[in-house]
């Protein structure tokens, strides 16, 4: 399995059966897996989405967006409770071209990616239970 390091964004090969929580990056020696959202930008977005084999939930947000600010702690809390799933955030103010490429029309918008492909998306602030239910639906789609 290939996982992109949440610190230096180097691609790491994790042997089958190895616990990803214990895996260290071959480049920076830090933990490869983060149970918190990774901040993405134009310099690392596509590499992170395309080279990770784990599913990724990306929150497209902006600092001026009230619903984005309301949902941010919920998104972080769910990330901390999830295993085998990656969470990332992209500030649409700094990633305007990526947001345009992704067809982001309203924020917050969450996109569930798996192996570089979009599986599903949902717009609007979600409660924790709604976010977890949506993630479960997405996981069923890829299983």
Query: Which residues does the annotation mark as catalytic?
Result: 65, 68
The Cβ-side half-sphere exposure at 1, using a 13 Å CA radius, reads: 19
Pair 142, 55: CB distance under 8 Å? yes
Tokens representing 15 are 């042997």
Report the C-alpha gap between 115 and 117 in whole angstroms. 6
Pair 19, 7: CB distance under 8 Å? no
């Amino acid at each position: 399995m290939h996982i992109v390091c949440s610190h230096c964004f180097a691609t790491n090969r994790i042997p089958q059966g190895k616990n990803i929580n214990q895996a260290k990056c071959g480049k920076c020696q830090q933990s490869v897996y983060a149970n918190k959202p990774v901040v993405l930008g134009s310099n690392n977005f596509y590499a992170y989405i395309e080279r990770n084999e784990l599913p990724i939930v990306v929150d497209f947000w902006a600092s001026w967006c009230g619903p984005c600010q309301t949902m941010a702690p919920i998104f972080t809390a769910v990330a901390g409770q999830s295993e085998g799933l990656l969470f990332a955030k992209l500030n649409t103010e700094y990633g305007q071209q990526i947001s345009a490429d992704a067809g982001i029309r309203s924020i917050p918008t969450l996109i569930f990616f798996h192996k570089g492909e979009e599986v599903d998306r949902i717009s609007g602030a979600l409660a924790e239970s709604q976010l977890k239910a949506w993630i479960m639906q997405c996981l069923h789609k890829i299983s």
